[in-house]
Structure 1
């Protein structure tokens, strides 16, 4: 007749089963928790839209962002400071820029126009940019173009125009209060001649950009 298990056998078996149950349920809960975290992470990655920075055309070609600026004194001060910055950038642009540098300057000019703190001024300047796209093939072409569009703004406001025919004076135009400008019919005639040269691509290196694509 088989011998009965010792009294402690059942106690040990019960303890072993209990320990196995605890370990099994703990591992199962951990795996399920990790799986839930992974699913949540995947969902978050799917739900968050990616920021598309591959194309900046929409940002540079949009309409003016800022509201109108009614304070004429503030508008004049803003204009003087902005033109000084604008011409200084052109004067320090590389003589022989890389394609990336030319693209950067072109996009900056369009963003400068769109984000200009005077809304009506920004809209007007954007219209000028559409008619006379930025010329960014070199420092000289950029500086000459900047002087020309500055004069376009001055003509629209009935202000004197600068003589941009002298390359050495391109940086000075619009950059200080003591600028030498030439007003009256003579100055306007020079601006018209310069406009014809830009359209014809006769200014220094401006023909490299092309009027239609602006560089």
Structure 2
């Protein structure tokens, strides 16, 4: 019996360590749970926008207050043109897609329902030009002038659209002053002429032109 005592003590000590390891809680910290009401998959990648949302009809009701409609128009056009004026010069495919989707949703959600309907028709007939900043800005001026013509307003000089919607950013304005980001030339309105199924916007004296593709 005396000989077996060390063996029994060793066995008891081994069993004690084993059960202590199994039963005692782990001290390793557990990762925090994701925020409530938000699936884990939603944290990594937002779902794509369904085409039915982009191509749906105008959402807002008609706006009868003419004063409010005019104020909204001035603010809306400023946001519209400044967005295009700050668009990248050489955008990626993702950036071009983002701009096209933004303009589609801008038209759907514009607070003036009847204005939104007219603008959606323009987008369908003359899809946004997203190849770069100059093309996007000149396209924006082109569709703005179509709206002005329909409303009997003065047609805007697309030669100066970059100057008219400066953002006040020192670096951007300095580049524009050097002629790196705006179409420059003699003052005067762009000449629009039809060629087949497209419209060519020739900027007089600028040495550049953009092509506004017409659907249909």
User: Please, what TM-score do these two structures have when normalized by structure 2?
Assistant: 0.59
Query: What is the alpha-carbon distance in structure 2 between the residues aligned to residue 115 and residue 156 of structure 1?
Result: 21
Distance 1:124 1:174, change over 3 A: farther
Structure with greater helix share of residues: 1
The 8 Å contact of residues 83 and 174 in structure 1, kept in 2 or not, is answered as no
Compute the displacement of 1:142 (Å).
0.2
Query: What is the alpha-carbon distance in structure 1 between the residues aligned to residue 119 and residue 164 of structure 2?
Result: 18
The 8 Å contact of residues 137 and 161 in structure 2, kept in 1 or not, is answered as yes
Compute the displacement of 1:57 (Å).
1.5
- Report the count of equivalent residues: 145
Query: What is the alpha-carbon distance in structure 1 between the residues aligned to residue 110 and residue 53 of structure 2?
Result: 14
Q: Which runs of 5+ in 2 are unaligned?
A: 1-38, 40-45, 167-187, 203-207
Match of 1:199 in 2: 198
Match of 1:58 in 2: 52
User: Please, what TM-score do these two structures have when normalized by structure 1?
Assistant: 0.59
Distance 1:98 1:110, change over 3 A: same
The 8 Å contact of residues 104 and 120 in structure 2, kept in 1 or not, is answered as yes
Deviations 1:184-212 (A, max 9, x none): xxx9xx57x426379245655745x8544
1:112 has 2:110 as partner: no
Q: Secondary structure at the match of 1:125?
A: helix
Structure with greater strand share of residues: 2
Match of 2:12 in 1: none
1:100 has 2:94 as partner: yes
Bigger radius of gyration, 1 or 2?
1
Query: What is the alpha-carbon distance in structure 1 between the residues aligned to residue 96 and residue 110 of structure 2?
Result: 21
Higher relative contact order (CA 8 A, sep 6+): 1
Deviations 1:7-43 (A, max 9, x none): xxxxxxxxxxxxxxxxxxxxxxxxxxxxxxxxxxxxx
Match of 1:171 in 2: 162
What value does the CA root-mean-square deviation take over the aligned residues?
2.9
Query: What is the alpha-carbon distance in structure 2 between the residues aligned to residue 205 and residue 101 of structure 1?
Result: 23
Q: Which runs of 5+ in 1 are unaligned?
A: 1-44, 46-51, 176-186
The 8 Å contact of residues 61 and 111 in structure 2, kept in 1 or not, is answered as yes
